[in-house]
Amino acid sequence: MYARKAGTVWEVLAPAKLNLYLDVLGRRPDGFHELETLMAPVRLYDRLQWRAAEAGDDSEFQLDVQAATRMPQHVIPADRRNLVWKAAELLAREAGIAPHGAVTLSKRIPAQAGLGGGSSDAAAALVLLSAAWGFDYPAARLQRLAAELGSDVPFFLAGSTAICRGRGEIVVPVSGIPRLEVVIAVPSEGVATSAAFAALDAPLVAERPAREGDSALASLIARLRRGARASAGRRMFNSLQRVAELLCPAIRRIGTSFASVGCCAHILTGSGSAYFGLMHSARQARRVAALLSSLNLGTIYATATCR
C-alpha cells in the first residue's frame, strides 16, 4: 500500500482480502478470538483521495463516501463511525495536530462481506494521511496505530499475503505464492463479524495457546508455492463457515453452485457473506463468473490475488 500524488491530490488504493485458511483456536479472556489465518490481498479496490481544505473553509476534516456497489448508508457511514475518520483522528492525535483536509472514499468492496473493506480503508487512511500531512513514521509505529483500529488493519498495512495470528494483528508475511485466480460471489445480505464470532460459541483459551506446529497451514502454503492448486484447495478451510451459513442461508446456495463448476476449492472468506472459488486459470475464472452471474446469486467478481 503506498500513496501517490497527482497534482495536489494524494491517492491510495485499498485492496480487498481473502482468507485462504482461517482457524479459530478459541475465545480469549478479552472477548476476541485467537486466530490462525492465511490472508491474501485481491485486486478489488476502494480508492481514497485527499485534498487540502479550500481557502476560507474552516471545517477541520471532511469525509465523503461514494459507493459504487449497493451498500446501505448505515453500513458505510460518512462520519466519525467510519474507520477512515477514526484513523484520521488517531493519526492526528499521535502527531499532536488537528485532522484536516477532505478525504473522498470511493467504495467498490462490498461491506459485511469478509473482504476486509473497512479495515483496508483504515490502513489506507493511515498511509494517505501520513503522506498528505508530511509524516515519516517508522512502519512499527503505524502498525501499532493500525492494531488499535481493528484486528485486520495491520495485515493491510503490511501489504502482502501473510499468516495472521493473535486476534489477527500479529502479521507474518509469506513470500513466493504465485498469483491465484479466483471468483468471488457476494450475496446481497451481509454478515456482521461480531455476530458470526458470537454464534461460534468457541471454548475459552489462554491468549497465546501452545502450538503443536502449524502442519495444516504449512502444508497449504507449501502447495500454493509450488502451484499445486488442487491439493492446496483440499487444505483450505474456514472455521466460521458453518455459523455464517446459519446467519445467511444464501451462502449455502452459492457453495452448491461453486461445487458444480469444477474449481480447485471453494470456501467462505472471513465471517462472510462473500464466498470464493480458487480457479485453475484466468480463463476458467471468466467462464465461471459468467455462469454464476446468470444464476442471480449476488454480485460476482472474477479477479486474482495481488501477490
- The residues assigned a catalytic role are 17, 152
Quick one: 33 or 107, whose CB is closer to ligand C5P?
33
**Contacting range for ligand C5P; rule: CB under 6 A; set: 98-106, 129-137, 146-154, 253-261:** 146-154
Which of 99, 114, 150, 190 lies at the binding interface for ligand C5P (CB under 6 A)? 150
Cβ of 176: how many Cβ atoms within 10 Å?
Answer: 11
Question: Residue 17, interface with ligand C5P (CB under 6 A)?
Answer: no
Q: In the set 17, 107, 167, 229, which binds ligand C5P (CB under 6 A)?
A: 167
Residue 139 CB, shortest distance to ligand C5P, in Å, is: 20
* Contact flag: residue 156 with ligand C5P (CB under 6 A): no
Among 66, 188, 194, 281, binds ligand C5P (CB under 6 A): 194
* Closest CA relative to residue 13, chosen from 38, 42, 41, 48: 48
Beta bridge partners of 78: none
Q: Any contact of residue 208 with ligand C5P (CB under 6 A)?
A: no
Smallest gap from Cβ 127 to ligand C5P, in A, equals 18
Give the span between the Cα atoms of 299 and 186, in whole angstroms. Answer: 5
Cβ count near 228 (within 10 Å)? 13
Segment interacting with ligand C5P, rule: CB under 6 A, options 3-11, 174-182, 190-198, 222-230: 190-198
Q: Could you tell me the smallest distance in angstroms from the CB atom of residue 87 to ligand C5P?
A: 13
Stretch that binds ligand C5P, among 32-40, 97-105, 261-269, 278-286 (CB under 6 A): 32-40
Question: If binding is defined by CB under 6 A, does position 235 make contact with ligand C5P?
Answer: no
Footprint of ligand C5P (CB under 6 A): 32-33, 35, 150-152, 167-168, 193-194, 197
